[in-house]
């Protein structure tokens, strides 16, 4: 589904250059359920933005479903992203003036889904993350963990074939972390949606089928995860 060849992302701050992602090769097949781990600053967010087509590599190439991202216009890239990819941002990126439900409806608006269906699907997505009751609250009225779950609902509402989640449980307690990953795993098993989850929580990585470890912008290891059976109700 995603094939990245020799991708490098270089940032320059004054005279200093840093390769946040450094000559990295990776492929992600349809239906995978994987985690990306590594120390802070190892390039996890940068890599996720590159494979999510939110950013372009300084060198190297990325293809999605056989299409070269570099050959697509900005408009085509936006369209591909809206139709195929759900992204959970590390900083949530919720719009403060919109209610939780309206934030979740936004990607459906871009896809020109009619209002009544948008409403229904956004409510359903919020209920799946346990926030049906908070649909009318604006982000400022929600806790960090609740805002994070709104951001997850927004990424899932379009039923994207690929979900990229940047530390999606960073603000959640153990029980809600388990419930969110369980929701993703169930979707993966039932619909075949592909998930790549950046995390620094070993519990989350252990729930996945493949663990990619980054270090200094390179892949330090890429191995099978234990895919531990989840028992969220035992955590409560
Ligand atoms: N916009 C930017 N400008 C300059 N440096 C950046 C930028 N974004 C990330 N970096 C640097 O790139 C490296 C990787 O960052 P990041 O991808 O955010 O890592 P992680 O998500 O693993 O913590 C870090 O050294 C970071 O400081
Ligand atoms: Mg990060």
Report, as an integer, the average pLDDT of 163-175: 96
Q: Are 198 and 184 in contact (CB under 8 A)?
A: no
Report, as an integer, the average pLDDT of 167-181: 95
Instruction: Give tens-digit pLDDT for 18-36.
Output: 999 999 999 999 999 999 9
Instruction: Give tens-digit pLDDT for 91-141.
Output: 999 999 999 999 999 999 999 999 999 999 999 999 999 999 999 999 999
Q: d(Cα 9, Cα 52) in Å, to the nearest integer?
A: 14
Sign for the pseudo-dihedral over CA of 213, 214, 220, 222: positive
Which atom number of ligand 1 is nearest to the Cα of residue 42?
22
Task: State the average pLDDT for the chain.
Answer: 96
Regarding the beta carbon of 49 and ligand 1, being less than 6 Å apart is answered no
- The answer to whether residue 236 scores a pLDDT higher than 90 is no
The residue whose C-alpha atom lies closest to atom 2 belonging to ligand 1 is: 11
- Backbone phi and psi for residue 215, each to the nearest 5 degrees, phi listed first: -150, 125
Q: Based on C-alpha coordinates, what's the Rg of the chain?
A: 18
Q: d(Cα 236, Cα 229) in Å, to the nearest integer?
A: 16
pLDDT band at residue 235 under the 50/70/90 scheme = confident
* Other Cβ atoms closer than 10 A to 122: 27
Instruction: Give tens-digit pLDDT for 194-229.
Output: 999 999 999 999 999 999 999 999 999 999 999 999
Q: Identify the pLDDT of residue 63.
A: 96
Q: d(Cα 132, Cα 125) in Å, to the nearest integer?
A: 8
Q: Does CATH number 3.40.50.300 belong to domain 2-235?
A: yes
- The answer to whether residue 147 scores a pLDDT higher than 90 is yes
pTM over 0.85? The answer is yes
Residue 43 CA, ligand 2 centroid: distance in Å: 7
Which atom number of ligand 1 is nearest to the Cα of residue 38?
22
Q: For the chain, which residues make up each domain, given as ranges?
A: 2-235
Classified as helix, coil or strand, 162 is: strand
């Amino acid at each position: 589904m995603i094939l990245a060849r020799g991708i490098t992302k270089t940032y320059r701050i004054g005279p200093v250059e840093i390769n946040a992602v450094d000559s990295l090769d990776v492929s992600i097949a349809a239906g995978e359920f994987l985690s990306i781990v590594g120390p802070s600053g190892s390039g996890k967010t940068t890599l996720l933005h590159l494979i999510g087509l939110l950013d372009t590599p300084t060198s190297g190439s990325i293809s999605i479903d056989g299409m070269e991202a570099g050959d697509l216009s900005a408009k085509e890239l936006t369209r591909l992203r809206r139709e195929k990819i759900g992204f959970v941002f590390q900083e949530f990126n919720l719009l403060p003036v919109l209610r939780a439900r309206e934030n979740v409806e936004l990607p459906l608006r871009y896809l020109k889904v009619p209002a009544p269906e948008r409403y229904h699907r956004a409510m359903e997505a919020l209920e799946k993350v346990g926030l049906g009751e908070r649909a009318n609250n604006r982000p400022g009225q929600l806790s960090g963990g609740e805002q994070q779950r709104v951001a997850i609902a927004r990424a899932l509402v379009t039923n994207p074939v690929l979900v990229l989640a940047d530390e999606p449980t960073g603000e959640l307690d153990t029980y809600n972390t388990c419930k969110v990953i369980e929701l993703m795993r169930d979707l993966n098993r039932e619909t075949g949606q592909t998930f790549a989850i950046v995390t620094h929580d070993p519990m989350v990585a252990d729930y996945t089928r493949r663990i990619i470890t980054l270090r200094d912008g390179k892949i330090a290891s890429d191995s099978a995860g234990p895919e531990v059976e989840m028992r969220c109700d035992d955590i409560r």
